[in-house]
Structure 1
Amino acid sequence: MPASAVPSPPPAPRLDEAGYDRHRLRQWLDGEARADGVSRRRLLTLLAATAAATVLPTPGPARAAVAPIVKPLPPEWFIQRGTNAETRWEALRGTGHHTPNELFFVRNHTATPVLDAHDWRLRLWGTGLRSAPGEDRPVEFGYDDLRALPAVTRTAFVECAGNGRSSYTTQQGETVTGTPWTLGAIGVARWRGVRLADVLRRAGLSSRAVDVQPRGLDAEYLSGGESLGRVRRPLPLSKALDDVLLAYEMNGEPLPYDHGYPVRVLVPSWVGIASIKWVGDIEVSAEPLFSPWNTAFYRLFGPAHPAEGSAPLTRQTIKSAFELASGATFPAGQGHVLRGRSWSGAGAVTQVEVSTDGGASWRRARLHDRPRPHTWTRWSVAWRPDRPGATHLLARATDTAGRTQPDVAVPNAQGYLFDAVVRHPVTVV
């Protein structure tokens, strides 16, 4: 059972993410942090290998004898990519603002664990919690304990940091490593759960706490025959106390197994790795934490970045996609309506421009949603092609932070955060 309510520590200041990133990078390089479960020497080895653009490790087998993904993956809805499944954009046409659970993409490091909510416990522990003198006892919450707390509902996207990765190669001729996603490693859902801030405070959050690290209950991840442990990634306390949820419902239903049942973390607008699925424990630390998932992985390496890599990735970038299959055909001389969706981790999308002639000319699309942060904006534009032939459709978005999709994305070795305008091939017949 959860600890009784205790007076809360002063609220943490709102997170300056850019400043936080710079500060944490300095802490890591200066050795002023603790690498959870992995020696600093091992992390430096991983860091050096990643900086040299070696091939990313492939997922190891899960301990449980289950398929990598539980839900059906009909080929008209998904492209299967190992332990992952990418949503086909043409399957989203007409589905509304929220991605139906059965169409939501799946990103797994190993395999989906099938857990029982009645046996599940969330364990909070670490030096960032208050405890009686001489005691260091964890605090546990059951599934019913969480559901008894004040609930919050939030619409937000979850998107893999590598979404769009294949375009580094197909459009820019860059060699990158990792799953070759097109643009279907994203989904928007209506999530319901409890504020992580409420759970932390009930657990006895200390004024000394600086980092919060959720860890999943999926199998340990193997790299080169060595286990890196279960997937985990730290959050700064400021972010944890801001808008992070412990979600137990997705689009009005209990979380599906593939999407974190019984409880997952939801970190709006951040790269998907931050939204840990099947969360089983949360370390609350009085010192900075690092794991392989914010040192060797989910940082930017390459000629355009520092030798030690960028700071750990936080917010997602800006993208647009058509609700069309690649290579779709259109009869000449007939009217058509092109539809798509644009989104950004930096703010709401306020403008979308579309080109139907490979970028020679542009016109504004009609927006079908009130621009909101943390989610996408649907749009449409009319098109009447007048002559047969191959062409490319292009869409570029602008958000409230003033960001507009560029023509070329700055490359990095692991192919994260592709933000350039994607050239969508079609044929007029």
Structure 2
Amino acid sequence: MKNKPFLTTRKLQPENQESPIHFLSTWLTPAKYFYRRNHFPYPSLTDRHLWLQICGNVPQPRFFHLNDILSLPEKSIILPVECAGNKRAYFDPKVHGEQWEDGAISQGKWTGVPLSHLLELTGFYNQTKEVVFQGADFGRKPDKEDLIPFKRSLPLEKALHPDTIIAYLYNDKPLDYTHGYPFRLIVPNWYGMASVKWLYKIELINDSFNGPFQTEDYVYYPHKHNDHKSFPVTTLQVNSTIQQPLPFSILNTGVHEIKGIAWTGKGVITEVEISLDNGDTWQKAVLERLNEPYAWTKWSFLWHVEKKGEYSIYARAKDSQGRIQPMNAFWNRKGYGYNAVSKVNVKIE
């Protein structure tokens, strides 16, 4: 019987499961291996959730049924969705929150209608500043008594980007219930909190949205005890993951393939380098790309090792905007955006 990987459970109520990223070599993550990130219990969907409402600063408020949206010109893009807390477990000092390791990221083919097309049909007033997206999931935050829905906003310019889409297919199949059926917002280059699941209401506003998932969570707080110099979490950091070998593997002498993935929220990955001497010297890995502007880059490096002992493998990615993974991540008290140089320790016997 062929062995298969499983999701790694971080929490069951609400469900938070990590993708087995180290064992996935395909460009498109199968839906069953897509990581699961939830703030609240899964919503109870009814027929009304097959309708998508657009309201607020629009001259023609409308409800679009799923069949209406399916009849519109579609667009497909391949991109990763990464939780802002991916790799949180590696922060030093430790921070509170789901202790994600490397698997709070997955990549697939998303198909839907550009949000800009829907907003062409409703129109919008010139004073519009932001677009607010509301999912069907709701619950209580630990420090709140009232029930609240998951709501996030985008600046109008980002909402109108031609690749910001209302997705209804994942890998050419209807969205899985656990990942946002029937509608999920997909926002390229931003962390996953922006890609609201179970989307059923879109509201255009002429000021700044200040819901708890906008101005309290998903904010970088550089200081442990105050909010000084805080700023919002938006664009993906340049980052990479070593998929193989696994941490603390015991290997034989000979040739080993070091491989992984790299991604960025600005430009494209231009280089991945490997160090086997604790960062003193670096050697270039071989890159493999898809002809897709947002997709992650695969990389590999053949390691010829004859001397037994313990080794640290470092990997760092660079992007076309000149960003490079740092040796130490930017610490923040909620643990977002970890992107320090990837590191795996192995032993050669």
Q: 2:242, 2:343 within 8 Å by CA — same for their partners in 1?
A: no
Deviation at 1:323, TM superposition (A): 1.5
Change (3 A) 1:249 1:330: same
Is structure 2 residue 26 aligned with structure 1 residue 107?
no
Residue in 2 that maps onto 1:164: 87
Is structure 2 residue 252 aligned with structure 1 residue 326?
no
In 1, Cα distance between the equivalents of 2:137 and 2:272? Answer: 39
Residue 284 of structure 2 aligns to which amino acid in structure 1? R
In 1, Cα distance between the equivalents of 2:187 and 2:146? Answer: 26
Deviation at 1:338, TM superposition (A): 1.5
Residue in 1 that maps onto 2:145: 226
Residue in 2 that maps onto 1:383: 303
In 1, Cα distance between the equivalents of 2:225 and 2:340? Answer: 18
- Give the RMSD, CA atoms, in angstroms: 2.1
Matched position secondary structure for 1:317:
coil
Residue in 2 that maps onto 1:91: 23
- 1:159-201, Cα deviation, whole Å (9 max, x unpaired): 01111111113xxxx1312111112111111100001111122
Q: 2:238, 2:265 within 8 Å by CA — same for their partners in 1?
A: yes
In 2, Cα distance between the equivalents of 1:425 and 1:114? Answer: 45
Matched position secondary structure for 1:289:
coil
Counterpart pick for 2:115 among 196, 207, 211: 196
Residue in 2 that maps onto 1:401: 321
5+ residue gaps, structure 2: none
Deviation at 1:371, TM superposition (A): 7.3
In 2, Cα distance between the equivalents of 1:215 and 1:291? Answer: 11
Residue in 1 that maps onto 2:289: 369
Residue in 2 that maps onto 1:78: 7
In 2, Cα distance between the equivalents of 1:310 and 1:191? Answer: 32
In 2, Cα distance between the equivalents of 1:355 and 1:145? Answer: 53
- 1:392-422, Cα deviation, whole Å (9 max, x unpaired): 2111000011001111112110111112102
In 1, Cα distance between the equivalents of 2:19 and 2:312? Answer: 21
Deviation at 1:125, TM superposition (A): 1.5
Matched position secondary structure for 1:200:
helix
Residue in 2 that maps onto 1:185: 104
Residue in 2 that maps onto 1:418: 338
Residue 362 of structure 1 aligns to which amino acid in structure 2? W
Matched position secondary structure for 2:305:
coil
Residue in 2 that maps onto 1:121: 51
Identity %: 34
Residue in 2 that maps onto 1:27: none
In 2, Cα distance between the equivalents of 1:330 and 1:85? Answer: 29
Residue in 1 that maps onto 2:71: 148
Change (3 A) 1:372 1:145: closer
Change (3 A) 1:183 1:305: farther
In 2, Cα distance between the equivalents of 1:386 and 1:258? Answer: 47
Change (3 A) 1:378 1:114: farther
Q: 1:162, 1:181 within 8 Å by CA — same for their partners in 2?
A: yes
Residue in 2 that maps onto 1:254: 174
In 2, Cα distance between the equivalents of 1:289 and 1:90? Answer: 38
Matched position secondary structure for 1:201:
helix
In 2, Cα distance between the equivalents of 1:225 and 1:161? Answer: 22
5+ residue gaps, structure 1: 1-73, 132-137
Residues paired across the two proteins, number: 342
Q: 2:49, 2:200 within 8 Å by CA — same for their partners in 1?
A: no
Counterpart pick for 1:239 among 158, 182, 185: 158
Residue in 2 that maps onto 1:55: none
- 1:281-303, Cα deviation, whole Å (9 max, x unpaired): 11111222221112111111133
Residue 195 of structure 2 aligns to which amino acid in structure 1? S
Counterpart pick for 1:354 among 274, 284, 289: 274
- 1:9-33, Cα deviation, whole Å (9 max, x unpaired): xxxxxxxxxxxxxxxxxxxxxxxxx
Deviation at 1:119, TM superposition (A): 5.4
Q: 2:78, 2:292 within 8 Å by CA — same for their partners in 1?
A: no
Change (3 A) 1:291 1:308: farther
Q: 1:217, 1:280 within 8 Å by CA — same for their partners in 2?
A: yes
Residue in 1 that maps onto 2:196: 276
Change (3 A) 1:371 1:149: closer
In 2, Cα distance between the equivalents of 1:190 and 1:234? Answer: 23
Matched position secondary structure for 2:166:
strand
Larger RCO: 1 or 2 (CA < 8 Å, sep 6+): 1
In 1, Cα distance between the equivalents of 2:280 and 2:251? Answer: 19
Is structure 2 residue 256 aligned with structure 1 residue 336?
yes
- 1:93-150, Cα deviation, whole Å (9 max, x unpaired): x3x2222222111111123336366852111121x1115xxxxxx4211110111111
Residue 85 of structure 1 aligns to which amino acid in structure 2? Q
Residue 403 of structure 1 aligns to which amino acid in structure 2? R
In 1, Cα distance between the equivalents of 2:64 and 2:53? Answer: 7
Q: 2:77, 2:292 within 8 Å by CA — same for their partners in 1?
A: no
